[in-house]
Structure formats: C-alpha cells, structure tokens
Structure 1
Amino acid sequence: MSSRIDKLRDQISAAKSDLLDEIEERRARFSYSISGHRIRFEDEMRARHRAARENLLSFLSRTRLLVLLTAPVIYALIIPFVLLDLFVTVYQAICFPVYGIPKVRRGDHIAIDRHHLAYLNGLQKLNCVYCGYCNGLIGYVREIAGRTEAYWCPIKHARRIADPHDHYPGFADFGDPVDFQAHVEAQRAALAAALDD
C-alpha cells in the first residue's frame, strides 16, 4: 500500500476524531450526563424540554396529508430491516469466528436514545426510535459487509464509488495482479490483529 494512501487514511481518521470531539464538547452545553445507558438532564433543562413539547394534535395538524399517507410505507420497512438484522447477526456469529474476523458490536452502531428527550411528543419519539434503529442497523450491516469484503475480495473497484467503507482504502488496486495476493494476506492479518486487541 502506498505511503500517500496511508497518510490520507490517517488524516481522515484524525478529522473524524476531531469531529467527534467537537460534538462531545457541544453536548456539555445541554446539561446532561450519561451513566451506563441512562441519560440524565438537570432539572431546569428537563423543565425547559417539557415546556417546548408540541402536542400531538398540533403536530399532526401541521403535517401535509401526503406525508401522513406515506407513513404505512415507511413503517412497513421494519419487517425487512428486522429480517436483515437477524440474518446478518446470525451470519457473523457463524462465519466470523471461522474466518478469524472480529465480530461487529451492534451497540457500537445502533443508538436508541432520542426518546428520552422530553420536548418530543409520542409520535416524534416513535419516529426517533425507528430512525435510530434503521440507520444504526445500516451502519452495523455495512461494517459486517466491509469486513467480509476485506477478507474475501480486497480489490478496489475500477470506478470511483461514492462513500467507501473504512477498509476500502487498504484494498489492492484494480488491475494489479502482482500485489493482489499480498493485499489479501495483509487484509486478513489486519482483521485477525483487530481480533487480538
């Protein structure tokens, strides 16, 4: 792998870390703490949240009819999402130990916590639970798929792809038969090393 790609990967990783640090600093302004899975707001902030909550009837009265009519389509997707979650979780439970790939933790990707916000009405809380699960699940599945690709087929695509997963920059270049096998072994070793950490 070229040192330029390694340098760019390090810069991206540092930028992601800086972004998360900045988000963490901004959290302090909203007077809450996290203890385990419990989120606690200070009393004054909780009171401000409750005062800002819009009741369900007001919320629905501002919603366009066509938006309301799409709700069954959106919520029907829970069935394939749950099935995807089940199948991908079983897949990694069976296959990753055989391949020597560390398992992806669901909790690192699926965060369901916005329903603790008192300024959301019941429907908004339900929507936030749904979105937190579905978007987190996509991240979870993407990481499992990325680790699988890194193990079995670590070759870059011929064309540029919009948003490659984190393992992709370390893949062999498309059309390079000389370094391909070395990249396969390097990717598998990197995955196994992550398992040892």
Structure 2
Amino acid sequence: MNANIEEILARMRALEEELQAEFAKKREEFGFLVENKRVRFAREVLEKQRLARLGLWRFLRHSRISVALTAPLIYAGFIPFLLMDLFVTVYQRICFPIYGIPRARRSDYMAFDRGDLPYLNAIERFNCFYCSYGNGVAAYLREVAARTEQYWCPIKHARRIVATHERYPRFFEFGDAEAYRKGLERIRASVGEGQTGDAAGATSAKS
C-alpha cells in the first residue's frame, strides 16, 4: 500500500481514538456508570432526569397527526430487519467457516442501553429500541458484507463511493491486475486481522 495512504489511515485512527476519549469525558458529566451492560445513574441525577419525563398523554397530545399516520409504516420495518438479522446470522455461520473467514460477533453491533434513561417515556423507549435494533442490524450486515467483499472482490471502484466501510481503503486499486493476482490470497488470509485486515503486503507485492 502507498505510504501516504498508510499515514492518512493512521491519522484517521488516532483521531477516532481522540474523538472517543472526548465522548468519554462528556459522559462523565452526567454521572453514570455502566455495570454488566446496564447504566446506573447517581441518585440525585436519577431524580432530576425523572422530572424531565414527558407523560404519555401529553406526549401524544403534542404529536403531529402526520407522525401518527406514518408510524405504522415506520414500525413495519421491524419485519425486514428481523429477516435480515436472521439471514446474515445463518449466512455467515454456514459460509464463513468454509472459506476460513472469521465470523462477526453480532453482540458487538447491538446496544440497547437507551432504555435505561429515566427521562424517556414508554413510547420514546420503544422508539429508541427500534432505532438501536435497526442500526445495529445495518452495522452487523455491513461488517459481514465487508468481510465477504474482502475475500471475494477486494478491488476499489473506479469512481468515488460515499461512506465506504473500514476495510475498503486497503483494497487493490482499480485496474491493478498485477497486484490483484499476486496479493489476493494474502488479503483473503488477512480478513480476520483487526477491523480492516492488512492488505499492505498484498499491494506491495507488485513493487
């Protein structure tokens, strides 16, 4: 891989760590701990947040009619999410061992801690659960698809793609037939090496 690309990727990872550190500092301001995947607030914080909870009747009374009318369509998305969740789980359990691809851990992409927020009413908690599940399934699918792509077709597109997955920068350049033929098996073997694998050696095979 080009040294400049490696350097940019390293800076991106460093910035991501810096961003996560800032998020952690911000979370400390709200006085909670995470124990066994459950959130625990300090008592005084808990009482203050409960006062901010909006009752169901008041919540519904201030909701727009258009929101209520479109809600069934939104919630109907549960069905395709459930089917996709099931398909991705079965797919990688059957196919990945055959090709030697490590399976993505579903639990790494699912977080339902918003239900512990005392200022949310029942409807808001359900909405948060739904959003968490939908986005969790999408992230889970994305990682399984990314690992599949790294194994079967680790080649960048000729045109710019918006919001590529984290493995994409290490794929072979479009049109670089020599690097692809020399390095394909190596990049396939590196699927399980971290989030992005290591195609640097594969692309450097050409030099």
TM-score, L = length of structure 1: 0.95
> Which amino acid letter does the alignment assign opposite residue 28 of structure 1?
E
Q: CA deviation at 1:190?
A: 1.4
The aligned counterpart of 1:48 is 48
Which residue does 1:118 correspond to in 2?
118
Whole-angstrom distance in 2 between the partners of 1:178 and 1:77: 44
Aligned residue-pair number: 195
Counterpart of 2:175? 175
| 1:160 alignment counterpart | 160
The residue that corresponds to 2:37 in the other structure is 37
Moved more, 123-132 or 37-46: 37-46
Deviation at 1:194, TM superposition (A): 4.8
What residue is the counterpart of 2:130 in the other structure?
130
Residue ranges of structure 1 left out of the alignment (5+ in a row): none
Query: What is the rounded CA distance, in whole Å, between the counterparts of 1:80 and 1:175 in structure 2?
Result: 37
Report how far residue 163 of structure 1 moved: 0.5
Asked if residue 150 in structure 1 is aligned to residue 150 in structure 2, the reply is yes
Q: In the aligned structure 2, how far is the partner of 1:45 from the partner of 1:110?
A: 26
Structure 2 alignment gaps of length 5 or more: 196-207
Question: Residues 49, 57 of structure 1: CA spacing in aligned structure 2 closer, same or farther, 3 A cutoff?
Answer: same
- Over the residues paired in the alignment, what is the CA RMSD in angstroms? 1.4
Is the 2:38–2:116 Cα contact (8 Å) retained in structure 1? no
Q: 1:17: Cα distance to partner?
A: 1.4
Map Cα deviations across residues 121-167 of structure 1 (whole Å, 9 max, x no partner): 10000000000010111111101100110011000011101010001
- Following TM superposition, by how much is the alpha carbon of 1:107 offset from its aligned partner in structure 2, in angstroms? 1.6
Runs of 4+ in 1 over 6 A off after TM superposition: none
Indicate the residue corresponding to 1:60 in structure 2: 60
SS at the partner of 2:136? helix
